[in-house]
Amino acid sequence: MSLDARIPEGSSLTNKQMSDLRGVFQSFDRNGSGFISQAEFKEAMKRVHFRQEDDVEAIAMDMISRIDSDNDGHVSFQEFVNGVAYRTNAEGRSTARFRSLVNVMHSYGFAEAKKKAGKPTYLQSYGCWPPPVFLLIITIAEVIVYAVFSARECGGEANLECPISFSSELAFRTGCREEVWRFISYVFVHASVTHIVFNCILQLIVGVPLEMVHGPHRVLGVYLLGGIAGSLASSVFDVYANLVGASAAVYALAGAHVADTFLNWAEMPFRWLRAGVLFVLIAADLSTSIYNRYYSGTMTNVSYTGHMAGFLMGCTLGTSILKNLEGNKYEKIVSYIGVALAVGGVIFAIFFNIFYDYPFNSCPKL
C-alpha cells in the first residue's frame, strides 16, 4: 500500500525525514493495512522493550488517543506524521511519549537493517576464496595411494581384492590398534577400482558445496573426524571388521549437510526441498544397510558401523564446526549438546580400546 501524507504546516520535516518516517510507520504496520492498530502499538512496544515496567495496553491506548485525530481507533500515516511533527495535539495534549517510541523504533530498525546487511545470505556465502581445494587434494592423494598399492601387489592388474588392502600397513584392524595411525590412514586405502571411483565421486559431489560455503579448514575437520569416528566405532561394535576406504569420512560429509541445514535453516533457499532430499537419501541408505547386514543372507566386508559413526560425527560435531550465519540461542544449545555427544563417544571408544580384553591381538603383516 502506498503511504502518502503532506508535511504538516509549520513543521521543519524534510523529504528525507518523511521517507524515514514512512519506513518507521511500516515497522509498526506489520500487516500492511496502512493503519496502526492498538494491537500493533503493543507489539511494537514489546519488540523494542519500550516502557515494559508499565501497563503496555494502557500506554498504547493513551498514545492512540493523543494522535488519532478522527477517533476511528487506529492511526493513519498522516496522523502518524502529525504526531511526530507537533509536540502537542489539537487539544493541547503532549505527544512526547509517542515521539519517544518513534525514535526508539527508528533506532531499532536501523540496527536490524545494519545487522542483516552485515550477514550474507546462504547463497551469498558460496564462494571460491579460499578455493575449495581440500577435497580435490584428498581425492588425488587417495588415487595415488591406490595406484602405488596396485602396482606393488598386482603389477597394474586391479580387480575386486587388489591391491590386498585389508592386510596392508594402512588398513585398520582391531588387532593393529597399537599402530595408532591406522585409525585414520585406512581412509586412503581402497579395495578395488569400483570402490575408490565411487568414494571419490561421492565425496566431491557431497563435499565441494560444503567447502564453498564453510571453507576448506572446516570441511577438513569434519572429514578427518568422521574417518576417526568410523574406526573407533568399529573397534567397539564390530571388532572383526577390517576397514579400508573413505566411506566413513564421506558419510561424515553427508551428516554435515544435516547439521548445515539445521544451523542455517532460515537463511537457506529451497530448505524444504533440501531437507526432503536428505531424508530420502538417508532413509534409503539406512534401510539398504540394515537389509544387507541382517536379512540378505550374504556375507559382506562393508562396515556399516563405520558408516553410521561417520554420519553421526558429521551431524553432531558439524553443528559446532560449520558456520552458523545467524546464530540463534537454541542452535547454540544444540551445538553444545552435539559436541558433548561426539566428545563423549570418542572418549568412551578410546578407553574401550585401552582396557577391553580383545579375543585377539595379532597384527598380520604383508
Catalytic residues: 247, 307
Contact 256, 222 (CB under 8 A): yes
What number of other Cβ atoms are within 10 A of residue 187's Cβ?
A: 30
C-alpha to C-alpha distance for 225 and 330, rounded to whole angstroms:
24
List the beta bridge partners of residue 36: 75
Cis peptide before 216 (omega within 30 of 0): no
Burial class (CB in 10 A: 0-12, 13-18, 19+), 300: exposed
Residue for cell digits 569400483? 194
Kindly state the cell numbers that stand for 48.
523494542
Contact 47, 107 (CB under 8 A): no
Phi, psi of 136 (to 5 degrees): -65, -45
Specify the DSSP element, H or E, that contains 222. Answer: helix 216-237
C-alpha to C-alpha distance for 10 and 83, rounded to whole angstroms:
13
Give the HSE-up count for residue 130: Cα atoms under 13 Å, Cβ half-sphere.
10
Question: Which residues in 97-129 are b (16+ Cβ under 10 Å) and which e?
Answer: ebbebbebbbebbeeeeeeeeeeeebeebeeee
Q: Where are the alpha helices (DSSP H) in 238-303?
A: 247-263, 271-294
C-alpha to C-alpha distance for 37 and 213, rounded to whole angstroms:
43
What number of other Cβ atoms are within 10 A of residue 230's Cβ?
A: 34
